[in-house]
């Protein structure tokens, strides 16, 4: 059985898990920041509403101040239509309903938090230092469906990072669905990997599964 492979699916799965956690953490931070900004947005719109009310009230007072006895308004041409005059010689003030103005201002609403499907499987690696000419460490990986579950898949491998062709991975042992597989070690596989058969055999003994 050939055991020299460059497949790093277990490592990719672990990196994907980290990426998914970062995406979820970023999403929650954005929602939390938006919630913190809501009071400031509310104050902003209240301030706008109050400013509008003050402007309307000032305009109303200016209009009332331009009225003269006799029932005529002073307009752009000096005169305007008659308006009701009270017994004391001044027209009645206009009442502005500030509550109604504020009620008309739309307040921002925080978006609902939608639960997304989050990957919760965990991969834990044991790295045992190894003093070899090619092999520097023996890596054992264990996969868990969730934080409370037992191991459902484990594997042990070594890497040759000194190869001119790039990093070469050699699988030594895998256990999946309760079935243990010890990959065949021979001189041909050792030559492909780039290390002596004796060094690979010694490294295999450091697997923690």
User: Number of C-alpha atoms within 13 angstroms, CB side, residue 160?
Assistant: 24
- Give the pLDDT confidence of 68-116 residue by residue, as tens digits: 454 444 444 444 455 554 445 444 556 666 666 666 666 666 666 655 5
**Residue 101 or residue 163, greater confidence:** 163
Ranges 48-62, 73-87, 121-135, 170-184: which has the least confidence: 73-87
Please, are residues 200 and 137 in contact by the beta-carbon 8 Å criterion? no
**Range name among 103-107, 122-126, 169-173 with the lowest pLDDT average:** 103-107
What is the rounded average pLDDT for all residues in the chain? Answer: 78
The domains of the chain are located at: 21-103, 120-204
Question: φ and ψ at 5, to 5 degrees?
Answer: -140, 160
Average pLDDT over residues 121-132: 90
- pLDDT tens-digit readout, 59-79: 888 777 665 454 444 444 444
Q: Check: CB of residue 42 under 8 Å from CB of residue 206.
A: no
Query: Within its chain, how far is the Cα of 68 from the centroid?
Result: 66
Give the pLDDT of residue 118: 57
Report the range out of 64-73, 75-84, 120-129, 138-147 with the highest average pLDDT. Answer: 138-147
CA-CA-CA-CA dihedral for 110, 112, 117, 122, to nearest 10: 50
pLDDT band at 166 (very low <50, low <70, confident <90, very high): confident
The token pair at 113 is 């938090």
What single DSSP character describes residue 78? S
3-state DSSP assignment of residue 103: helix
Q: Supply the pLDDT for residue 66.
A: 62
141: burial class by Cβ within 10 Å (0-12, 13-18, 19+)? buried
SS3 3: coil
Average pLDDT over residues 184-199: 94
Name the residue with tokens 């001189």.
187
d(CA 157, CA 84): 97
């Amino acid at each position: 059985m050939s055991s020299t492979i460059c497949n790093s699916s277990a490592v990719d799965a672990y990196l994907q898990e980290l990426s998914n956690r970062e995406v979820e953490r970023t999403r929650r931070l954005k929602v939390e920041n938006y919630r913190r900004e809501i009071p400031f947005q509310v104050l902003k719109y209240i301030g706008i509403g109050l400013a509008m009310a003050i402007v309307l009230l000032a305009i109303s007072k200016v209009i009332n101040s331009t009225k003269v006895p006799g029932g005529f308004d002073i307009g752009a041409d000096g005169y305007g239509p008659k308006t009701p005059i009270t017994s004391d010689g001044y027209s009645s003030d206009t009442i502005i309903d500030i509550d109604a103005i504020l009620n008309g201002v739309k307040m921002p609403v925080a978006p609902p938090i939608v639960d997304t499907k989050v990957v919760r499987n965990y991969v834990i690696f044991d790295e045992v230092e190894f003093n070899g000419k090619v092999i520097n460490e023996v890596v054992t990986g264990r996969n868990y469906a969730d934080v409370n579950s037992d191991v459902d898949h484990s594997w042990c491998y070594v890497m040759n990072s000194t190869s001119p062709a790039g990093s070469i991975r050699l699988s030594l042992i895998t256990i999946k669905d309760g079935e243990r597989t010890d990959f065949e070690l021979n001189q041909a596989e050792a030559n492909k990997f780039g290390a002596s058969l004796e060094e690979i055999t010694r490294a295999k003994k450091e697997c923690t599964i």
